[in-house]
Amino acid sequence: MALVALTAERLFTGETMLAGHALLIEDDTIADVVPIDRLPAGVGLSDLGAGTLAPGFIDAQVNGGGGILFNDTPDSDSLRQMALAHARHGTTAMLPTFITDTPAGMHAAIEAIKAAIAAGVPGIAGVHLEGPFLSVARKGAHDPALIRPMRADDIAAITGSGIATLLLTVAPETVPAATIAELAAAGVIVSIGHSDAAYELAVGAAEAGARGATHLFNAMAQLQGRKPGVVGAALDTGSLWAGIIPDGIHVHPASLRLALAAKRGPGRLFIVTDAMPTAGAPGDVFHLNGRKVTRANGRLTLEDGTIAGSDLTMDQAVAFTVAHLGVDLAEALRMASLYPAEFLRLDDRRGRLKRGLRADIVHLGPDLAAQATWIGGALVS
């Protein structure tokens, strides 16, 4: 296939912001990043004008979108519609998230993801199982009747799923350190969430192999002077990464600014949407495990007022991060691409615009809204 060259006002590689450069694409792969005056002979250049070319966004927590809720219809067609809805906002790789449900539902979700990956559904990079092995005390919008302990057959189903990128949110007071170690040794990416654990227990889970914390500040033991909780463990433990939902609803911007300043590395904070069916879709009502969820002024809540995910998209999240969290554009883009790629161990092929990596690309306008998205070199219509 012939080389294709793209340029824009700015080109962000995932590491460096460049001007006067072009991105060379061959088939589904990035062939090179070169100065415009050094383009290979005969290569046509498509100038996208104002804005920024950047690595496609990677969202590790996507419950739904485009009118689809993964829990309701765990099948390839629904996953394709979800992925397309989010691709229109710059997401080129996502983990559809299956929240607390029945054992049969969890098995159906695993099979749906396997089928979608086998069929090459663009944008499906793995799965996130958020529960049901959580704390009822920190249930959030999860149905407490479906939260349960982890059994031997659950471990077998998860470790034997055949899905290379499987993210599993657990509460360490429900899933002991020895089980976390077993899961991590099998390649499962374990994240601490929906947990009322003390700081020491959360740190113990990290030492056993937990790699992250799910939607920092939400549905977890908070940071207090004598009780650092899960929030304190996530910020103080260098090996832990943590997703944040930057929408001004889930967490106050001041809290997120403090967390960004406090986070000990090498683990970092990265952006997730926690999106629900309303993301990228009309309609203000849907049902979650039979319970009504309503959208009002951008906030999704159960009838008792509990926040139930978001209708956030990744381009909106990046724009909020720049506007309200004191983060420059380059770092916000890393939080939406490179850092989640590193957390999910996908950075050998995603998260940067670099020779040999997948041609997963977003063009953002000056207002940071996605103008065009390419997944594996193919323009998303």
| Per-residue pLDDT tens over the stretch 166-200 | 999 999 999 999 999 999 999 999 999 999 999 99
Pairing relation of β-strands 127-130 and 166-170?
parallel
Are 71 and 220 contained in the same domain? yes
Provide the 3-class DSSP secondary structure of residue 310. strand
The answer to whether 31 and 24 are in contact (CB under 8 A) is: yes
Q: In the numeric block, which tokens belong to residue 193?
A: 């969430």
**Whether residue 139 is found in the same domain as residue 170:** yes
Are 26 and 153 in a shared domain? no
User: Same structural domain for residues 44 and 113?
Assistant: no
Q: What's the pTM?
A: 0.97
At what angle are helices 177-185 and 199-208 packed, to 10 degrees?
Answer: 30
331 lies in the same domain as 363:
no
Residue 71's pLDDT band, with cuts at 50, 70 and 90, is: very high
Chain position carrying tokens 């967490």: 251
Task: Give the mean model confidence (pLDDT) for residues 26-44.
Answer: 93
Share of the chain above pLDDT 90, in %: 96
Q: 29 with 130, same domain?
A: no
Domain co-membership, 74 together with 149 = yes
**24 located within any domain:** yes
- Residue 163's Cβ-side half-sphere holds a number of Cα atoms within 13 Å equal to 30
Query: Mean pLDDT across the stretch 7-14?
Result: 97
Mean pLDDT computed over 116-125: 97
Domains in the chain, number? 2
* Nearest of 319, 223, 327, 308 to residue 269 by alpha carbon: 327
Mark whether 247 and 143 lie in a shared domain: yes
Same domain, 95 and 107: yes
The enclosing domain of 25 has a CATH number of 2.30.40.10
In a domain, 349, yes or no: no
Is 309 inside any structural domain?
Answer: yes
Is the pLDDT score of 338 beyond 70?
Answer: yes
Q: What is the domain-level CATH number for residue 241?
A: 3.20.20.140
- Is residue 213 within 8 Å of 242, Cβ to Cβ? yes
Q: 3-class DSSP state for residue 258?
A: helix
So what's the pLDDT on residue 345? 98
Identify whether 114 is part of a domain: yes
Q: Which helix (H) or strand (E) holds 190?
A: strand 189-192
Is the domain of 153 the same as that of 104?
Answer: yes
Q: Are residues 68 and 109 in the same domain?
A: yes
User: Tokens 């704390």 appear where?
Assistant: 135
Q: Using an 8 Å Cβ cutoff, are 3 and 26 in contact?
A: yes
Whether 348 maps to a domain, the answer reads: no
Which residues have CB under 8 Å from 182's CB, separation 6+? 155, 159
pLDDT of residue 1: 59
Task: Tell me which residues are annotated as active site.
Answer: 274
- The model's pLDDT over 73-113, given as tens digits with 9 standing for 90+, comes to 999 999 999 999 999 999 999 999 999 999 999 999 999 99
Give me the domain span that covers residue 176: 57-343
pLDDT tens by residue, 225-281? 999 999 999 999 999 999 999 999 999 999 999 999 999 999 999 999 999 999 988
Q: Is residue 63 part of a domain?
A: yes
38 and 103 fall within a common domain:
no
